[in-house]
Structure formats: structure tokens, C-alpha cells
A and B are shown apart, each in its own frame.
Chain A
């Protein structure tokens, strides 16, 4: 399953950090962050609970970039 989320992030380097953090989150197969369109594409692992995984992703992202927002 693939989904796109609206995000808010201020700098390009921070967007890269968010991408790294999201990729390492459990339940995420792959993640891509586009700073340009302020969007995050997440590909979930099979059987993953979207809400739970996204919560973990948001937490991981806040850790690397306290100013970021993810709408989910």
C-alpha cells in the first residue's frame, strides 16, 4: 500500500533527514519526501497498520526535525 501525506518542513536538508527517519521506521517499506511539493510518499509493509505506523513516523521525524508537521 502506498500513500501520500501533506507535510510542512522548512529546509531541504531537514526534509532529507525526515526521509531517512521515515525509512527506518518499522512497518515502512520505503519513504520519499519531496521538499518541493511538501509531500511524503510512504509505502507500507504488508499487514502494517497505517495509523500506528504513521504515528511512529511522525515521532521519528519530530526527533530529527522538531519543527516539522505531518498531516495524517
Chain B
């Protein structure tokens, strides 16, 4: 509890005690005998004590409000309602209503503060200190004070405070605070580490490569904390609604207090002023729009918090809101739907050669090459390669390599290279990059190297469809054969291949023209060369962005790991959040309107009116915190 909340709690207890005391013991009668004041006045004075203890700040705010031209706010309403009750002779009820209102306010402020903290704790990946290595040993300093290039020590159980490179030690890192991924990452000397991860096993010495302010953890914190600044449409709606709602209810209350008695008198009956005044006061109590105003940003905040705990950073409530209406998802291929790394997928030897021999020879011939293709050949072979077996390596740029392997003349390369060598090739219909192998002037076969489809890609596409996405489109710069193969495996609705970066923007714009006004288009890319498309789409989603500043900058939603299934998960979070927002709006309005109605005709006590105000708000807040919890 904060200081303010404690203070109000004491005031509540004190005035509750006094109120109970004065109601149970007839002090007024006793005192009236001693002091020369009428009993009725004595009672008023007595009940004014707890009333003022509990309500003085409300009265002060109400008076200040009147002077500042803010006539119809909830303080004014409470002041008028309770003072009205007191003037009508209901001293007890007047004080009790004020007390009840304050209890409600305290409860609400506590509930809101609690859920605010819960969500904030979820996003709290801020490291408190760094162990700086100095000549006199290690010193605990604040991460802001560590200069680039310093050595810091991270023990088991500690957070990595600043981005850097490991210079000593190995360990496994828990990245779940950043990515939502629970499998720890093994790291060793030379590996880059990102701030915000938790070191689990060994002691690591890290040479920092960034300032704290530029480190991943700071960037993420800044992004998530600012996300509630970008307000959603529903928030805007409620803001406008609240502005109209309170004054309208006040005016209605005023009319309720005046019009029926006046009409009664005009038609020759009794005015019944007190009855209608009480009804008017009851409606005033219900008129605070707080339940609506608080629960909507809280729901969005909860949704954003829940998403960030799963490695999905959403830059604003508006994007979370738009996500649920996404009908077109446009994906990049490499790095988004496919791994972006190349692997040997097929080995096709000519008769007389074995697959193993083909792969071994190719791997040896490409031993010195650093090209991604030769790297994947060596990876596929897996065993260590003896450099002594390879001599006379000659790289022919853009074509392949020529080398002596175990005394055999080996040429490995693409179609062009084979044509130069005068080798006739059959038409292979494999998809990917083909490496042809020639051993001692005889064609020995080919090896296919292709980019693999991500493990979760299929599920990702089908769950997007389940979320109501109309079309999943893939745009790629890759050749048609490769693109079509990926598209048919993943059951995509459309594929556009052999595009230049500028063409991608054009294709997205075509889709933007085609969609209906309420439908949103999301573009998903890995953030590299995607900036124009990311910003052109309604929602730009960058994935695999851990440590990539450019992607965090350009996108509206950032997936920290590179799992495409997270797109559908983000949509589900969005859907759930919007559902809660709608429930809250409808619930609050229905309860308030019906209470207003019953209050106006006089069949609702002040207590129910308070429930309609505070109870609805607390229920709405509790409902809003549901947005935080999302089933996997």
C-alpha cells in the first residue's frame, strides 16, 4: 500500500468507528441535556465529525472544481449528493455514503495499483547492477556507469546487464524473459550475449560492446513502457464518451429534482420534493464514468504485458487492437517461413558412386571456402576433414572450385561451371541450389542444398487461417521454382516470386487497395531490407529481432524469437483483449443504465447506487487483468 492509501485507510477506520458509535449510543440526547443546543442540531454536529474526517478532501476538490470551471466531476457529484442528504435530514446516510465512496475509491486504487504492478513485474527485465571488473577486484556498479569495452562478471542466477561478447567461461542462458522460449541457450567464449538473459550455470566474463542505454534490455523496456502512450480507438471512444456522459447525467439529475415536483404541484397534488431530490442524488452517484475509463487501458496494458512475457513486443495499444482484424498476412520467405540457413536436402549420385563418397569429396573440395553453400556441405558431412587430403585448391568465382582430393581431380560447382568443363547434364528438377561434382573428368552426381521450411511454419499458417485470416501471401525475391515449392508445402493462398524490394511495396499496396475498409493487413519479415514494407503495411511485424535495432525501430510488433507461430498467438491475445474490452464496456453501461433508471423512479437505495459505481469498476478491473493470462 502506498502512503496515500494508508492515510485514507486510517481515515476510513476512524470515521467508521465514530459513525457506529454515534448511531448506537444516543450521544445527542445526552449532550442536549448538558449543552443548551437543540437535540436535532446536536445530532447534526456529531455526524458532521465523521463526515468531514472522511470527506474533507472531496469537498475541497469539489469547491476547487467549481472555481476552476470544472463543475461536473465526480467530486462535485459526491459533495452535492451527500450534502443534499444531510440537508434533507439524513445525517447518517449522508456520512455513510461518503464513507462508502471512499472505501470504494481505496479498494479501486488498491486493485488498480496491484494489477498495474503485476503487469509491470512481468515486464521487469531491468538489471539492477553490473559486476565491473577493476584492478582492485570486482565492484557492484549501476549498469549506466559501465563504459563500452569494460569487462563485467555475471555469476549464476544473475541477469546479463549489458550486451557484450563472452571472453571467459561458458554457461547456459535463460532467454525466456526476452523470447518466452524456455529452452536455455548454450554459450561459450566468443559468443555474443544480450542483456536481459539470465545466466544459469557458469560464471561468465563479458566484454561490453554497448552502453546500457543502447543495450537490448533498455530498448525493450523503453518500447513496452511507451506502448500505452499509443492509444487505441476504444480508448479514444471512451474519452469522448466520458466527456459527454457526466454532464448529461448531472443535468438529468437536476431535471429529476425539479420537473416531477413542479408538475405535481401544477396538477394540484403535493410536490414531494424530498423524494425526488433523493432520487436525483442517487442518480448522481452512479454517474462517474471511471469503470469504463480505467478498465480499457488496463485491459490493453494487460494484453501487451501478457504478450511481452511470451516474447511478443507490441509497440502500442492501437496495434494490439488492429491485430484482431487482420485479414491479410503477407510474409517474407527467407528467415520468416524458412530457416534462412542452407542445408543439404538431397544427394543424387551417378551409378557407380555412393552418396557418402559424393558428400565427402564435395566437402573436402570446398574445405577452404567460406561460402554458405560450402559451409552447409561440411556441416552435412559432420566428421572432421583432414586438410592433408586436399591440395591445389583453386576457386573459380561465381562457378565453383577445382582441387586435388586424395590424388583425384575434383571439380565442384554450378551449371555454368559444368558447361565450361564440357559436361552434359540431365535436367534435374530438384528445388534449391545444385552443386555438381566431377571426379577425374567424369560426372559423378549432384547435391541439392536448400533453405529448409521452419518447423512451425505449417502450423503457423493453419492457425492464422483459424484466426480468420482470409489470405496468407508470400513475397520473395527468390526464383519461382523454390517459391512455388514452399508455397504448396505450406498451403499458402498466393505467392509472388522474383521480386525486387521495391516490388514488394507495390504488391502490398495492391492488397491494401483490394481489402475492405475494416480489414487490416500485416506484413511479417525478418527486418532486414524490409523497412519500407514494414511501414507501409497496417501492422509491421519483425521477427527474430533479438538484438537487431533496425527491426525493433521499423516494426510495430516485434517477435523476439523467429517462431512464425507467434503471429497467430499475438492475434489470439489481441482477440481476447478486445473481447474483455467489449465485455467491460457493455457490462458497465448495462449496470449503470439500469441503476440510473431504477434510481430515477426511486426504487434504488443509495447503497446500490454506490455499488453501481464502485462495484462495477472493481469487477471491470478484475476482468481486465484476465488479458494478462493467455493459454499457450
Contacts and interface: CB of A to CB of B under 8 A. Distances in A.
B565 interface: no
Given A10-B109, A16-B239, A16-B242, A34 B293 contact: no
Interface string B1-14: 00010000000000
A17 B65 CA distance: 12
B293 A36 contact: no
Given A10-B109, A64-B68, A64-B70, A36 B116 contact: yes
B298 A63 contact: no
Contact of B228 (A11, A37, A66): A37
Contact of B294 (A4, A12, A17, A34): A12
Contacts of A25: none
Interface string B469-500: 00000000000000000000000000000000
Interface string A36-65: 110101000000000000000000000110
B231 interface: yes
Q: Which of B74, B288, B297, B298 has the most CB of A within 10 A?
A: B297
A41 B226 contact: yes
B297 A35 contact: yes
A13 interface: yes
A12 B4 contact: no
Contacts of A64: 68, 70
A36 B228 contact: yes
B290 interface: yes
A7 interface: no
Contacts of B74: 13
B61 interface: yes
A12 B57 CA distance: 18
A35 B60 CA distance: 23
A63 B66 CA distance: 11
B293 A12 contact: yes
Contacts of B76: none
A32 interface: yes
Given A13-B242, A66-B60, A66-B64, A39 B225 contact: yes
Nearest to B302: A36
B109 to A, nearest CB: 6
Nearest to B67: A63
Interface string B33-45: 0000000000000
A36 B297 contact: yes
A9 B297 CA distance: 15
B242 A32 contact: no
Interface in B270-308: 288-290, 293-294, 297-298, 301
B229 interface: yes
A34 B109 contact: no
A41 B231 CA distance: 13
B293 A16 contact: yes
Interface string B74-105: 10000000000000000000000000000001
B294 A32 contact: no
Contacts of B4: 10
B289 A13 contact: yes
Interface residues of B, number: 31
Contacts of A35: 294, 297
Contact of B229 (A10, A11, A32): A32
Contacts of B57: 67
A17 B76 CA distance: 15
Contacts of A17: 70, 73
Contacts of A32: 229, 231
Contact of A63 (B68, B109, B112): B68
Interface in B204-219: none
Nearest to A63: B68
A55 B226 CA distance: 23
A43 to B, nearest CB: 11
B581 to A, nearest CB: 14
A34 B228 contact: yes
A11 B613 CA distance: 14
A16 B297 CA distance: 11
Contacts of B119: 36
A35 B120 CA distance: 13
A36 B231 contact: no
B294 A11 contact: yes
Nearest to B235: A16
Nearest to A13: B293
B585 to A, nearest CB: 14
B466 to A, nearest CB: 31
A35 B624 CA distance: 15
A23 to B, nearest CB: 12
A32 B318 CA distance: 14
Q: Which of A4, A17, A34, A64 has the most CB of B within 10 A?
A: A34
23 contacts: A4-B226, A10-B4, A10-B105, A11-B105, A11-B290, A11-B293, A12-B112, A12-B293, A12-B298, A13-B73, A16-B239, A16-B293, A32-B231, A35-B297, A36-B228, A36-B301, A37-B228, A39-B229, A41-B226, A63-B64, A64-B68, A64-B70, A66-B64
Lowest 10 CB-CB distances: which A-B pairs, in order? A12-B294, A34-B228, A36-B301, A12-B293, A36-B228, A13-B293, A32-B229, A63-B68, A13-B290, A37-B225
Given A13-B242, A32-B231, A36-B297, 15 more contacts: A4-B226, A10-B4, A11-B105, A11-B109, A11-B290, A12-B112, A12-B294, A13-B294, A16-B242, A17-B70, A32-B229, A36-B298, A39-B225, A66-B61, A66-B64
